[in-house]
A and B are shown apart, each in its own frame.
Chain A
Amino acid sequence: MNIVVLDYGVGNLFSIKCALERLGAIVHITPHLSKKMDFNGIILPGVGNFTHAAKHLTQNIEDIMNAVNKGLPTLGICLGMQLLFENSEEGYEDGLKLLSGKVLKLPKNLKTPHIGWNRIKIKKPHKIVEGVADNSWVYFIHSYYPKPNKSDICVAEVEYGITFPAIVAERNIFGTQFHPEKSGDVGNRILKNFLEFCKR
């Protein structure tokens, strides 16, 4: 199975690559999707900042939109999840607008970034959380959080002073605010579940 990890030009993509390879995927890290490529799923990784990454993605937007609209499973991780929404308080660039809603800064009274292991509360059954127990620990590191317009895309939520989505899913589009590649066995299970979607 071939998975594309989109490279916005900065940071650690090696960890997500290794995590997917340990699960048997063949991983291609690339700055641009090409029509010639044959792949089963897309990952928008979770490193960098919103403006920079959004700028990068807009150069490439048609190919991404085509792939996603064809039904290709797409997983956004942390910043990658935030990029799926319309816009963010982190930057003035638009997001991909694949999901309806925006990204907000965590309230000032909270220690920011939200760093460390926190528990997710599963809101509805979904294949992306198959085998994941309610209240599982996963690893977060972020200063902004998603606020979807439709609450039913929230598969799991987390509480850090406020409550916000930890996992969202709509059609073939998935997002995690935490880092599954850094969340031990629970994270591996979620990545495995994503790869199951890619197999179809």
Chain B
Amino acid sequence: MSLAKRIIPCLDVDHGRVLKGTHFRDMRDIGNPVELAKKYRDDGADELVFLDITASIEKRKTLIEMVRNVASNLDIPFTVGGGIRSVEDVKMILSNGADKISINTAAVENPLLIKELVSRFGQQCVVVAIDGKRKVKENGEIWFEVYTYGGTKPTGLNAIEWAKRCEALGAGELLITSIDKDGTKSGYDLDLTRMIAEAVNIPIIASGGCGEPKHILDVLTIGKADAALAASIFHYDEYPIPLVKRYLKENGVNVRL
């Protein structure tokens, strides 16, 4: 199979500016989404994800402006997520140049939204983000519960079952985040990604917990993910993308170099 595994930097955006963690020495404006996007593109990022965390009424306006600016300057694909609730939201984001959108809470609350978006805009642009938290049953068996509202609200849904439902509703891809691992830099939750990757036949993007290149290697092999999303290891230039990709290649992973 010659399809490459993808490396996807994730950028948190607030009021159209990229937040935290973006401390590249030679950049004039480290909060500027366009400059960051171009830097990552030049470094060999395969796609980008922008996660909007703006919590105010001007949210949509600042986000749309940012999407338009990024799209005008970027020639690789990018996904926009964060607080997307409706067909109208999606239409605005796609028509201003995003290639895909990701939905999370809105999909759990109204699964038919997935179907509606797929029939209007096509399967290829609908990513469902699933935030899973590890739980143990009384008999000792582990399972993963889906959380919404930024990982704060338990839903009782089993992440594996929910992933299958998303696939059946037409989702083009799944972005799987481990709530337990997110921010720990201790590695992805390999069980979570592997169990979902084995349960569905659509691409899986793994997220949450990346602290070093070995973690990416593990999630793309043992974790069976098709793509790895990471934030801090790229933002601080700790492990630049070319270095990560060379490491993956040396370890037998097909990457675009």
Chain A residues packing against B (C-beta within 8 Å)? 10-15, 18-19, 47-49, 79, 108, 111-119, 137, 139-143, 158-161, 179, 181-185, 187-188
Contact = CB atoms under 8 A, between A and B. Distances in A.
A139 B201 contact: no
Nearest to A12: B94
Interface of B: 1-6, 41, 46, 68, 71-73, 75-77, 94-99, 119-125, 172-173, 201-203, 226-227, 256
Contact of A117 (B4, B73, B75, B94): B4
Given A14-B68, A15-B97, A181-B75, A115 B124 contact: yes
A114 B1 CA distance: 11
A115 B99 contact: no
B121 A10 contact: yes
B interface: dominant SS: loop
Contacts of B121: 10-11, 47-48
B227 A116 contact: yes
A118 B121 CA distance: 24
B159 to A, nearest CB: 19
A15 B99 contact: yes
B3 A188 contact: no
22 contacts: A11-B125, A12-B98, A14-B71, A14-B72, A19-B75, A47-B94, A47-B121, A48-B121, A49-B122, A113-B124, A114-B3, A115-B124, A116-B4, A116-B46, A116-B203, A118-B3, A141-B77, A160-B2, A160-B3, A183-B75, A184-B41, A185-B75
A112 B202 CA distance: 5
A160 B6 contact: no
Contacts of B1: 159-161
Given A11-B95, A11-B122, A112 B201 contact: yes
A88 to B, nearest CB: 13
B2 A113 contact: no
